[in-house]
C-alpha cells in the first residue's frame, strides 16, 4: 500500500435544491487501499460517489485525484483521468453481448497498449465474462451481471474503482466472489472506494471504513472493529 493519497475529498457539500445531502465531507484513499463507506439508507453515500465522478455538482469543497482538482469536470473527463464507477443496479447494456459491454469500457481508457493483458487478468478474476462472452448480457443472472459490471469498469484501466452496493441482491456465494475479487483488484494496484450495505464484512475487508449518517462522516473504523457489533450499530444510530 502507498500512503500517498490518490483520491481526496475535502469539505465537500452537495445539495439537492436547498437540502444538503452531503455536508463538510472529507475522506482520503491512498494508493492500493480499499476504503469502505457505510451507513444507513439516505446517508449520502451514493451521492458522494456521484459527486466524485461528476454526475452531481458540488456546492463547495474540493475533490482531488493525485493532487489535482477534478471538481466541476465532466464525467467523461473524470473517467479518462482514471476513476471508474460501478453504479448501484449494475447498468449493463442488456441488449448487447458480454463482449460488447466489455468493449465499452475501452472508451474511457487513455491507452490501449495493455488492454489485452488487462482483459486476460480480468477474465481470470471473473471467468463468467469469458465463458459467456457471446451471450446477450440481459440473459445473465444478477450475480453474473454484477461481475460483468465490475469487469467493464476494470477494462477502462482505472487508478480508482468506485463501487456502489456491489453485493446488493446477490446470493451469498456470489457475494464471496465479489469480496474476494476486491482483494485481487487491490493487488493489481487499483485503489478501491467501496459503498456497501454489509457493514461488518466491509469493516473487516477495508483498510479503514468511514461511517456516514445524515450526510456527514461520524466515525472511522478499522478491521479491528469488525467484531464490535455494538460500536458499528452505535455509529449507524449517530445523529
Backbone conformation region of residue 168, classed left if phi is above 0, alpha if psi is from -120 to 50, else beta: beta
Q: What is the mean pLDDT of residues 127-140?
A: 96
Residue 236 confidence (pLDDT): 82
Q: Which residue has the higher pLDDT, 235 or 78?
A: 78
100 pLDDT band, cuts 50/70/90, is: very high
CA–chain centroid gap for 131, Å, is: 25
Q: What is the mean pLDDT of residues 71-94?
A: 94
Residue 70 confidence (pLDDT): 98
Whole-structure pTM value: 0.93
Chain mean pLDDT for the chain: 93
Q: Which residue has the higher pLDDT, 235 or 143?
A: 143
Nearest to 153 by CA among 70, 49, 6: 49
- Residue 212 pairs in a beta bridge with 217
Separation CA 179–CA 85 (nearest Å): 16
pLDDT tens digits, 144-182: 999 999 999 999 999 999 999 999 999 999 999 999 999
Nearest to 35 by CA among 136, 160, 214: 160
Residue 147 confidence (pLDDT): 96
Backbone conformation region of residue 157, classed left if phi is above 0, alpha if psi is from -120 to 50, else beta: left
Backbone conformation region of residue 117, classed left if phi is above 0, alpha if psi is from -120 to 50, else beta: alpha
Residue 3 confidence (pLDDT): 60
Amino acid at each position: 500500500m502507498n500512503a500517498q493519497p490518490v483520491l481526496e475529498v475535502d469539505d465537500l457539500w452537495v445539495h439537492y435544491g436547498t437540502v444538503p445531502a452531503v455536508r463538510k465531507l472529507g475522506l482520503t484513499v491512498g494508493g492500493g487501499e480499499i476504503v469502505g463507506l457505510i451507513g444507513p439508507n439516505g446517508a449520502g453515500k451514493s451521492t458522494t460517489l456521484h459527486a466524485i465522478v461528476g454526475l452531481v455538482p458540488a456546492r463547495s469543497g474540493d475533490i482531488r485525484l493525485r493532487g489535482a482538482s477534478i471538481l466541476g469536470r465532466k464525467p467523461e473527463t473524470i473517467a479518462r483521468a482514471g476513476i471508474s464507477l460501478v453504479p448501484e443496479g449494475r447498468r449493463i447494456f442488456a441488449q448487447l453481448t458480454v463482449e460488447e459491454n466489455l468493449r465499452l469500457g475501452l472508451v474511457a481508457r487513455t491507452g490501449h497498449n495493455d488492454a489485452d493483458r488487462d482483459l486476460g487478468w480480468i477474465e481470470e478474476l471473473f471467468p463468467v465474462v469469458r465463458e459467456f462472452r457471446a451471450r446477450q448480457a440481459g440473459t445473465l443472472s444478477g450475480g453474473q451481471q454484477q461481475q460483468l459490471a465490475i469487469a467493464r469498469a476494470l477494462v477502462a484501466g482505472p487508478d480508482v474503482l468506485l463501487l456502489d452496493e456491489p453485493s446488493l441482491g446477490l446470493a451469498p456465494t456470489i457475494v464471496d466472489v465479489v469480496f474476494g475479487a476486491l482483494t485481487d483488484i487491490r493487488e493489481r494496484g487499483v485503489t478501491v472506494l467501496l459503498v456497501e450495505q454489509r457493514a461488518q464484512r466491509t469493516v473487516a475487508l477495508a483498510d479503514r471504513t468511514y461511517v456516514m449518517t445524515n450526510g456527514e462522516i461520524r466515525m472511522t473504523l478499522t478491521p479491528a472493529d469488525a467484531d464490535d457489533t455494538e460500536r458499528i450499530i452505535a455509529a449507524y444510530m449517530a445523529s
